[in-house]
Structure 1
Amino acid sequence: MAARIFQRSKNALQSGRARAGEWVLQFESSTPRRPDPLTGWSGGADTQTQVSLTFKTLEEAKGYAEREGIAYHVVPPAQATMKIQSYADNFR
């Protein structure tokens, strides 16, 4: 049973930053996903992939994974880049 730990990013559809700094531990699927013959939706029998645990810091997430014997890898947070431009640049 493997897991990945990543930092939740800001929601692009809302202006608020609630839950943006949380660290999330999600389990990875141990079995491949397969299409359902009736509907065509992909799915699997592994319910562990539906589990998502949140922590305030990276150290708490790592500590939990080590205490429970879960193999994990940390995904570094993406750095936000801002493109500074003026309103007049829209009409060039």
Structure 2
Amino acid sequence: MKTARIFQRPKNSMQSGRSRLDVWMLEMEPTKAEEADPLTGWNGGGDVSNQVRITFPTLEAAKAHAEREGYAYHVVPAPERKLKLQAYADNFR
């Protein structure tokens, strides 16, 4: 049985806005470890299912899709948003 991971994408450190953070993503867990290619040294494998990411508007829609397809899934909670309150005057202490 394939295992899926359902999560909300965290905010990228390079973005200032909060656009598209409310979307839920479903991605497949890797079934086996990647192997090093003896010729190039790159890691790879024959399983391409972990390259597919499906987005859903709600958590319930993502769970319903996983159950309909017969995937075992686990939900990764969204990271807690930490506010770092700073004042400009703190630079001169």
Structure 2 residue 10 is the aligned partner of structure 1 residue 9: yes
* Larger relative contact order, structure 1 or 2 (CA cutoff 8 Å, min sep 6): 2
Normalised by the length of structure 2, the TM-score is 0.90
- Structure 2: runs of 5 or more not aligned: none
SS in 2 for 1:5: strand
Partner of 1:52: 53
Partner of 2:71: 70
Q: Pairwise mapping of residues 69-88 of structure 1 onto structure 2 (< 5 A)? A: 69-88=70-89
SS in 1 for 2:64: helix
Runs ≥4 residues deviating over 3 A:
none
Identity %: 58
- Structure 1: runs of 5 or more not aligned: none
Q: Distance in 1 between matches of 2:41 and 2:90?
A: 46
Partner of 1:24: 25
Q: How many residues align?
A: 92
SS in 2 for 1:38: coil
Letter paired with 2:31 = S
Normalised by the length of structure 1, the TM-score is 0.91
Letter paired with 1:20 = L
Q: Distance in 1 between matches of 2:92 and 2:62?
A: 47
Cα root mean square deviation, aligned:
1.2
Q: Distance in 2 between matches of 1:70 and 1:90?
A: 51
CA contact (8 A) 1:11 1:17 kept: no
Q: Deviations over 1:31-76 (max 9, x none)?
A: 1111111222211110101110000000000001011110000000
CA contact (8 A) 1:6 1:23 kept: yes
CA contact (8 A) 1:11 1:20 kept: no
